[in-house]
Amino acid sequence: MVSVSVSLSTNLTVNPSLKLSKQKSRQNPLNSTLKFLSKSGKLDEAFHLLLESQKSKTPIGSPNLESYTTLLHACISRKSLDHGQTLYLYLLKDNKSFLNNPILKSKFITLFSVCGLVDEARRVFENDIKEMGHLPESVWVAMAIGYSKNGKVKEALLVYCNMLSWGVEPGNFAFSVALKACSELLDLRIGKGVHAQIIKANEEPDQVVHNALLRLYTECGSFDAKSPSTLLSASPLYLLFCKMLSGW
Structure confidence by residue, pLDDT tens digits, 92-150 = 887 888 988 999 999 999 999 999 999 999 999 988 666 666 889 999 999 999 999 99
Residue 220 phi/psi, 5-degree rounding, is -90, 5
How far apart (Å, rounded) are the C-alpha atoms in residues 81 and 84?
5
**pLDDT of 227 higher than 60:** no
Residues in the chain: 248
Give the predicted TM-score (pTM) of the model. Answer: 0.76
pLDDT at position 221 is 83
How far apart (Å, rounded) are the C-alpha atoms in residues 99 and 219?
39
Burial class (CB in 10 A: 0-12, 13-18, 19+), 118: buried
Higher-confidence residue of 11 and 196: namely 196
**pLDDT of 71 higher than 50:** yes
pLDDT at position 1 is 40
Find the radius of gyration of the CA atoms of the chain: 23
How many other C-beta atoms lie within 10 A of the C-beta of residue 97?
Answer: 7
For 125-129, 216-220, 242-246, which range has the lowest pLDDT when averaged over its residues? 242-246
Residue 224 phi/psi, 5-degree rounding, is -130, 15
End-to-end CA distance of the chain: 69
